[in-house]
Copies of this chain bind each other. A is one copy, B any other.
Amino acid sequence: MSKIPTLFNRLALIGTGLIGSSIARAAKAQGATGSIVATARSPATRKRVAELGIADQVVETNAAAVEGADLVIVSIPVGACGAVAKEIGPHLKPGAIVSDAGSVKGSVVRDMAPHLPKHVHFVPAHPVAGTEYSGPDAGFAELFVNRWCILTPPAGTDPKAVEKLAAFWRLLGANVETMAPDHHDLVLAVTSHLPHLIAYTIVGTADELETVTRSEVLKFSAGGFRDFTRIAASDPTMWRDVFLANKDAVLEMLGRFNEDISALTKAIRRDDGQALHEHFARTRAIRKGIVDIGQDSAAPDFGRPHPDLPHSALPKPYAAEED
């Protein structure tokens, strides 16, 4: 049996929420690194990571975590990345690869790069994967399988460092693509940031109505609403930072969305059934494309479980009374 060789002797994880703890679990499962050292800002999280046993070592400071590490991955809200880079800069091992997992790349490059010494390789990354849960308990080793990880190395980065980080992500099951930071931010503004903002909005809208109670919203959510609530349950701090860091691209996409919803609103107001039908017929193709390339399940309802029919159920009063 051929053992998979380790890619990095020592991996340092700064931040051990859903993403950081999933990286720890996947790297361990795949033997991708010789050892894993982890840290987190709160003592409670560090304690929990130690209990979970997903890192070989849990340390108290970011500076201590990166000592001697060959790969450093910062998985924290993007607004905090600059300060962490400043903190770890002086302690990084020459030749180390420094990366992150942030959902915005332009701001991460701008905030982190100035604090990193010339003797390390800075390769920002964004694994496009996640769930609605947060924290070290929410992670799992399979999170990145068949998902994309986008690398956005600044111009002049050593291609060998980029390829080595790509190999790491492939070993964790991901597909890897390289992109310019600004283009990444535009793509993710539409595939991730705008959907989250809209989901957060409509869930808030539904909760503030005077004419429809919260209990009614919950009970009848299977008509479509519940699909929006999943991503509206995502980590608030992470998402606050995303919208502030990717402001320009998000505002541009919001502008497009507003134009389109105005057009559909006008069609409804004018009873223009043909315009509505044409629009609704078009969007099916996108869903099919996503399922075809394996980025979603073809099972109805995302494959949500449907309970069995209660065969033993007796209709209330008619069992005895009629027929």
- Which A residues form the contact surface with B (CB < 8 A)? 4-7, 9, 26, 29-30, 32, 79, 103, 128-133, 138, 140-143, 145-148, 150, 163-164, 166-168, 170-173, 177, 186-188, 190-209, 211-212, 214, 216-234, 236-237, 239-241, 243-244, 247, 250-251, 253-254, 256-258, 260-261, 264-265, 268-269, 271, 273, 276-277, 279-284, 286-290, 293, 295-297, 300-311, 313-319, 322-323
Given known pairs A220-B128, A293-B219, the reply for A283 and B243 (CB within 8 Å) is no
Counting from the closest, the 3 A-B pairs by CB-CB distance are A192-B223, A131-B300, A236-B280
A-B contact pairs, 19 of them (CB 8 A): A7-B322, A32-B315, A128-B220, A130-B223, A145-B309, A146-B307, A164-B318, A173-B309, A191-B225, A195-B228, A199-B227, A209-B256, A217-B286, A219-B295, A227-B227, A230-B296, A232-B280, A239-B280, A296-B304
In whole angstroms, what is the CA distance A160 to B220 when docked? Answer: 25
> Are B142 and A308 in contact (CB-based, < 8 A)?
yes
> Are B319 and A221 in contact (CB-based, < 8 A)?
no
Residues from chain B with a CB closer than 8 A to the CB of A221 are 191, 290, 295-296
Residues from chain B with a CB closer than 8 A to the CB of A177 are 219
> Are B202 and A195 in contact (CB-based, < 8 A)?
yes
In whole angstroms, what is the CA distance A107 to B173 when docked? Answer: 51
In whole angstroms, what is the CA distance A157 to B289 when docked? Answer: 48
> Are A314 and B132 in contact (CB-based, < 8 A)?
no
Residue from A186, A216, A257, A283 with most neighbouring chain B CB atoms (10 Å): A283
> Are B191 and A240 in contact (CB-based, < 8 A)?
no
In whole angstroms, what is the CA distance A315 to B170 when docked? Answer: 7
> Are B5 and A323 in contact (CB-based, < 8 A)?
yes
| Nearest B residue to A188, CB-CB | B223
In whole angstroms, what is the CA distance A197 to B18 when docked? Answer: 31
Given known pairs A199-B224, A204-B260, A226-B296, the reply for A290 and B138 (CB within 8 Å) is no
